[in-house]
Amino acid sequence: MEALIFALAIPALGIVLLLLLGHSRLGGHLNSLLSGLSLLAAVLMARSVLANGAMTSPEGFFHVDAFNVYLIVLTAFVGLTTAIFSRPYMDHELERGRLNSARLRLYYASYQGFLFTMLLALASNNLGVLWVAMEGATLSTVLLVSLYRTPESIEAAWKYFILCGVGIAQALFGTVLLYFAASQVIPDPSKALLWSTLIAHAHQLEPATMSLAFGFLLVGYGTKVGLVPLHNWLPDAHSEGPTPISAVLSGLLLNVALYALVRMKMLTDGALAGHVSNPHIAGFLMMGFGLITFLVAGLFLHRQKDIKRLFSYSSIEHMGLMTFAFGMGVPLATFGALLHMAVHSLTKSAIFITVGHASQIAKTQRIDNIRGLIATQPAVGWGLLLGTAAIAGFPPFGVFTSEFLLLTATMQTWPWLTAALLVGLGIAFAGLFRAVQPMVYGNRPESAAPIHVNMWPVIVHLLLVLWLGLAIPGILAHWFDQATQLIAGQGVL
Amino acid sequence: MFFSQLALYEQAILALAAVVLLLTFLMLVHPRILSVIKLFAWQGLAVAATTALVAYDANAPHLYISALLTLLLKAFFIPWLLLRMVDRFDLHQELDSLSHPVLVLFGGIILVVFCYHTTLPVAAQLTAITHNVVAICMSVVLLGMVMLISRRKAVTQVVGFMALENGLFFAAVAVTEGMPMVVELGVAFDVLVAAIIFGIFFLHLRQSIDSLDTSRLSRLSERERD
């Protein structure tokens, strides 16, 4: 438990430290160092959870079980690799004159602030604090989206702020209703929002209040997940902000929002079980929204002219698929969705890192003007090509494995929907490759020049995804299986 | 159950809830930016008063702290911040008229009816007062959203956003006698940071599009980039 406190305290301290630190060059190194320490603490925490099982802190403030332990490690890991990538990237942006050193300081402080809110949201036992942390994540990133101060970036940040703020406010209303339902059955009001208490009393919660609460929670956290039709903020915020922020927004924020949604679904399912005519309403809602999101985002991939918008639509598409899978609720689908959360966030952050380099090489984000990447700088070109192959679901990468599991589960429970999924995957595949193929192949354009890049984060991420595709390590499979037992009631192994 | 049969404090809560709803409707359609901000301050005051009332009746001392927080944040700090913006950008005579105020009002009324209908199953086992308050809180939240959609100026949109937060706060206090302290403090902190960031945004908007008219924010769309 001490390790968890450290994992949270380090980024919290980092906010202050990086704000006070005037020297901008040092900031990048310190940012990586702090993220590394945070990851170390998270790994130590995971080891003790592995040895002792789920744990709750004595005063009940934190709770770590099989579901959030791997997400905490994943968040800290992607936080570290993106921090390593962002130092030379931001230095390059500084040289190009797109920002000044005061804004760079704001960037590093906010980066640690974002990591802190993500880890707090994951580790908190209190569902109210989970909400506070999710709102904090918006607040800490909104000034990063407008970091370049262009009219477009300010528009994107305004949209992001208003849409996510309003969306997440619905989730607070849902939380109030949840607290209202809980206070009827849990006498101690200070415990009535604690996850560990709530899940034990889930079957006693009043079903009508819980379904209304879930409606609001779905809209609220669904906005953050990027579910259609609440997704409008996502491509704008991804395309106009600095690329490291796109990487962590796609790789981490969406996952944490989905995590919150799944926790709420578990409570709602518990409350509705056996009480009313339709006990699976929460799952059906998630399936519906997930499937629509998946299909609509796949179609939108074909219309994109901006490379970062392209991949942000791909994120929306994958979040839709995961929401759909969690909605189905059968063990196999849940297992697949948990795996998909991990491989998607690894692959997508790797892609955004390469995209960042690619747009620095071509000095533009317009797909039409990015050409011949392999000829210009093979590492970046191949990184983009392999990353896209991985995210499109090519074997032997991990995304293939998880999508295969999801398709199998769909075929067993909702055979007719398999066709929709297959069509959606095909559309998305075509949309991605139609854009990526001309960008990586072809001759080197006159204006493009190789830049200094650090491809290690990309290589490590893609190797991990490859490893997860070939053989999931025993520990991880064990965790996924335990998390599946928590969420779906029984395991698959 | 009749209004006069309720305990005195319940009558007061219901009356204040009605005042909050009325103020929300006024904010929804009032054309002058300055008046909208003042109405918002009154709404904050009503919410703070309710919180203090519930704190007194339920004998919950921690609610006095949230009442004080609401009073400071919603009735003083945020209106003061917005009024300072009005001074700075000279918006005293500025109007933000709706194109179809009657339509918006009727839409709002329909929303309130919808909220009463939606909360029926929740209220079935509960007292009449909770039913009214849940429905009114939900209405204020949704009306805040309508305000965000129908308004054009950044200042009035922020007021809509904060009115929505007021509705949430009101719900937390009136329905559940306040959330746990740590959550209340966290929410208040988030609102404070949000208010400051909004202030920063006004400056940026002014610099980049030379106006606080958010309908001019239309560069980012799928079509424009074709």
- pLDDT (0 to 100) of residue A307: 92
Which residues, in sequence order, are CB contacts of A41 under 8 Å at separation 6+? Answer: A3, A4, A6, A7, A10, A76
pLDDT of B196 higher than 80: yes
Q: Which two tokens stand for residue A248?
A: 């962590």
Residues A4-35: pLDDT tens digits? 888 889 999 988 888 888 666 788 888 999 99
Furthest-apart CA atoms within chain A: distance in Å = 72
Give the Cα separation of A321 and A337 in Å (integer).
Answer: 8
Residue B192 sits at the chain A interface (C-beta within 8 Å): no
Q: Do B197 and A206 touch (CB under 8 A)?
A: no
Residues A299-332: pLDDT tens digits? 999 988 899 999 999 999 999 999 999 999 899 9
CA distances from A385 to A309, A365, A462, B158 (A): 17, 17, 11, 43
Nearest to A20 by CA among A89, A100, A108: A108
CB B217 within 8 Å of CB A158? yes
Residues B42-57: pLDDT tens digits? 999 999 998 888 888 8
Within-domain flag for B221: no
Which residues, in sequence order, are CB contacts of A57 under 8 Å at separation 6+? Answer: A1, A4, A63, A125
Within-domain flag for B127: yes
Which residues, in sequence order, are CB contacts of A312 under 8 Å at separation 6+? Answer: A234, A235, A238, A239, A246, A250
Mean pLDDT of A371-381: 90
Which residues, in sequence order, are CB contacts of A343 under 8 Å at separation 6+? Answer: A390, A397, A398, A399, A401, A402, A465, A468, A469
> What backbone phi and psi angles, to 5 degrees, belong to B32?
-90, 130
Residues 71-90 of B with CB under 8 A from A: none
Across the strands, what pairs with B95?
Answer: B32
Give the Cα separation of A157 and A175 in Å (integer).
Answer: 26
Closest-CA residue of B relative to A365 is B225
- pLDDT (0 to 100) of residue B221: 67
Mean pLDDT of A425-452: 88
Closest-CA residue of A relative to B219 is A152
A206 min Cα distance to partner chain B (Å): 8
pLDDT of A79 higher than 80: yes
Q: Do B122 and A212 touch (CB under 8 A)?
A: yes
Mutate to test the interface with A, among B220, B221, B223, B224 (most CBs of A within 10 A): B220
Give the Cα separation of A118 and A258 in Å (integer).
Answer: 12
- pLDDT (0 to 100) of residue A208: 85
Altogether, the residues listed in chain A come to a count of 493
How far is C-alpha A258 from the chain's CA centre?
8
- pLDDT (0 to 100) of residue B128: 61
Which of A339-353, A448-462, B123-137, B144-158 bottoms out in mean pLDDT, i.e. has the lowest?
A: B123-137
The b-or-e profile of A400-439 (16+ CB within 10 A means b, else e) is bbbbebbbebbeeebeebbeebeebbebbbebbeebbeeb
Q: Which two tokens stand for residue A410?
A: 């769909």
- pLDDT (0 to 100) of residue B125: 61
Give the Cα separation of A320 and A214 in Å (integer).
Answer: 18
pLDDT cut 90: percent of chain A above it: 54
Give the Cα separation of A477 and A115 in Å (integer).
Answer: 26
CB A89 within 8 Å of CB A243? yes
Give the Cα separation of B146 and B160 in Å (integer).
Answer: 8
Neighbours of B108 (CB within 10 A): 21
Specify the DSSP class assigned to residue A252: I
Mean pLDDT of B110-137: 80
Mean pLDDT of A34-45: 93
Within-domain flag for B223: no
pLDDT band at A228, cuts 50/70/90? confident
Q: Do A136 and B194 touch (CB under 8 A)?
A: no
- pLDDT (0 to 100) of residue A74: 94
Mean pLDDT over each residue of chain B, to the nearest integer: 84
Closest-CA residue of A relative to B209 is A151
Cβ-nearest to B190 among A136, A239, A304: A136
- pLDDT (0 to 100) of residue B225: 47
> What backbone phi and psi angles, to 5 degrees, belong to A64?
-125, 120
- Helices first, then strands: H and E counts in chain B: 9, 0
Residue A209 sits at the chain B interface (C-beta within 8 Å): yes
Closest-CA residue of A relative to B216 is A155
pLDDT band at B10, cuts 50/70/90? confident
pLDDT band at B71, cuts 50/70/90? very high
pLDDT of B223 higher than 60: no
Which residues, in sequence order, are CB contacts of A6 under 8 Å at separation 6+? Answer: A37, A38, A41, A44
Within-domain flag for B194: yes
Cβ-nearest to B118 among A126, A155, A212: A212
- pLDDT (0 to 100) of residue A113: 94
pLDDT of A491 higher than 80: yes
Residues 147-186 of B with CB under 8 A from A: 148, 154, 157, 161, 164-165, 167-168, 171-172, 175-177, 179-180, 182-183, 186
Within-domain flag for B181: yes
Q: Give the A:B interface size as CB pairs under 8 Å.
A: 132
- pLDDT (0 to 100) of residue B2: 64
Identify whether A207 is preceded by a cis peptide bond (ω within 30 of 0).
no
Mean pLDDT of A400-425: 94
Give the Cα separation of B141 and A212 in Å (integer).
Answer: 14
CB A356 within 8 Å of CB A315? no
Contact residues, chain A, for B154 at CB < 8 Å? 158
Give the Cα separation of A190 and B55 in Å (integer).
Answer: 16
Give the Cα separation of A14 and A111 in Å (integer).
Answer: 9
Mean pLDDT of A386-398: 92
Residues 305-364 of A with CB under 8 A from B: 305-306, 309
Domain spans, chain A:
284-305+319-493
CB B178 within 8 Å of CB B66? yes
Which residues, in sequence order, are CB contacts of A303 under 8 Å at separation 6+? Answer: B222, B226
Closest-CA residue of B relative to A239 is B220
Q: Which two tokens stand for residue A296?
A: 């609509």
Give the Cα separation of B4 and B12 in Å (integer).
Answer: 11
Residue A180 sits at the chain B interface (C-beta within 8 Å): yes
Give the Cα separation of B24 and A392 in Å (integer).
Answer: 48
A135 min Cα distance to partner chain B (Å): 7
Q: Which two tokens stand for residue B167?
A: 């509705």
Contact residues, chain B, for A161 at CB < 8 Å? 194, 197-198, 201
pLDDT of A41 higher than 60: yes
CB A18 within 8 Å of CB A114? no
pLDDT band at B126, cuts 50/70/90? low
> What backbone phi and psi angles, to 5 degrees, belong to A63?
-145, 125
pLDDT cut 70: percent of chain A above it: 99
Residues A44-74: pLDDT tens digits? 998 888 888 888 888 888 999 888 898 999 9
Q: Do B209 and A151 touch (CB under 8 A)?
A: yes
B119: containing domain: 7-216
- pLDDT (0 to 100) of residue B129: 66
Q: Do B197 and A142 touch (CB under 8 A)?
A: yes
How far is C-alpha A164 from the chain's CA centre?
15
- pLDDT (0 to 100) of residue A22: 66
Residue A135 sits at the chain B interface (C-beta within 8 Å): yes
Q: Do B165 and A169 touch (CB under 8 A)?
A: yes
Cβ-nearest to A173 among B168, B180, B200: B168
pLDDT of A162 higher than 70: yes
Question: What dihedral do alpha carbons A13, B196, A137, A200 form, nearest 10°?
Answer: 90
Neighbours of B61 (CB within 10 A): 9
- pLDDT (0 to 100) of residue B1: 55
> Structurally, how many domains does chain B consist of?
1
Contact residues, chain A, for B187 at CB < 8 Å? 128, 131-132, 135, 172
Nearest to B162 by CA among B111, B196, B114: B196
Give the Cα separation of A451 and A289 in Å (integer).
Answer: 42
Specify the DSSP class assigned to residue B71: I
pLDDT band at B200, cuts 50/70/90? confident
Q: Which two tokens stand for residue A71?
A: 């997400």
A102 min Cα distance to partner chain B (Å): 15
- pLDDT (0 to 100) of residue B188: 87
Cβ-nearest to B183 among A129, A136, A151: A129
- pLDDT (0 to 100) of residue A94: 86
Tell me the residue ranges of DSSP E strands in A86-152.
none
pLDDT of B97 higher than 80: no
pLDDT band at B226, cuts 50/70/90? very low
Within-domain flag for B96: yes
Q: Where are the alpha helices (DSSP H) in A226-306?
A: 233-240, 243-248, 254-272, 281-300
